[in-house]
Amino acid sequence: MGGTTSAWAAAALSAIAMAGIVLARYFATSGLFALATSRARPGLYEGLGPQIRREIGWSAMSAVVYGIPAGIVAWGWQAHGWTRIFTDIGDWPLWWLPASLFVYLFAHDTWFYWTHRIMHEPRIFRAAHAVHHASRPPTAWAAMSFHPIEALTGAIVVPALVFLVPIHVGVLGLVLAVMTVMGITNHMGWEIFPRRLVHSRLGHWLITASHHQRHHEQYSCNYGLYFRFWDHLCSTDRGLATPR
Ligand SMILES: [Zn+2]
Ligand SMILES: [Zn+2]
């Protein structure tokens, strides 16, 4: 009995701690890119103060939604050996390190594309996704600006994948870093990646701000997260907008 109670307490504590970490990560990273925006594109967010305050409010709530499952799984990993996260680089062949990065990003992208399309059904849109589209135009602070229902659909992806697909803890960190940085830069309102890449043959398959900006302008296209694979396959890709 006592053991069960303390296990629950430890899991809850881990969930609270992780919510705090995700919240701190949001303020640090979005803050950094907002600062970069004020340097690189002065005045881009002018007059958007009230919108940015709403973006921060929704994002803070999303940070808690993201932190809870991640914190519980992290506790289970440490306390009970849950998940297929490994720490010894020799446990799997070396080629699996980059391959697992791609598998995680592609799986997340696939989940995101289809749940995102469902969320554009008018009734579901009003309930779950209108919050995210209230950012017109989005800013660096909109990276986690989701209604809690939408946040939940995003929050379960990586905690579920770690039970299914083996991943080195360092690669997992990389997945989270890519997720964080692309979430921000895609909403920042200007293109941080060189034109040479964005308009290259590789860029034809990658999503950056130029692509996602068009989703925020036109709604019914460019639904993907990292890759344009599903948008191309389902003819929902309308090419790039021209963010400043
Ligand atoms: Zn967006
Ligand atoms: Zn949308």
| Ligand 1 centroid, distance to 79 Cα (angstroms) | 36
For 238, the token pair is: 């309308």
Average pLDDT across the chain, whole number: 96
Tell me, what's the pLDDT at 159?
A: 98
| Ligand 1 centroid, distance to 146 Cα (angstroms) | 9
Domain limits, the chain: 2-233
Handedness of CA 165, 170, 174, 176 (dihedral sign): positive
Could you tell me which residues come within 8 angstroms of residue 65 by beta carbon, excluding any fewer than 6 positions away?
148, 151, 152, 155
| Ligand 2 centroid, distance to 153 Cα (angstroms) | 13
Tell me, what's the pLDDT at 242?
A: 77
| Ligand 1 centroid, distance to 2 Cα (angstroms) | 45
**Structure confidence by residue, pLDDT tens digits, 151-182:** 999 999 999 999 999 999 999 999 999 999 99
Tell me, what's the pLDDT at 4?
A: 83
| Ligand 1 centroid, distance to 92 Cα (angstroms) | 35
- Mean pLDDT across the stretch 62-71? 98
- Mean pLDDT across the stretch 176-191? 97
Spacing of C-alpha 189 from chain mean position:
17
| Ligand 1 centroid, distance to 39 Cα (angstroms) | 23
Distance CA(142)–CA(33), nearest Å, equals 11
| Ligand 1 centroid, distance to 111 Cα (angstroms) | 15
| Ligand 1 centroid, distance to 193 Cα (angstroms) | 17
For residue 243, pLDDT over 80 is answered with: no
> Which ligand approaches the C-alpha of residue 55 most closely?
1
Q: How confident is the model at residue 87 (pLDDT cuts 50, 70, 90)?
A: very high
For residue 53, pLDDT over 90 is answered with: yes
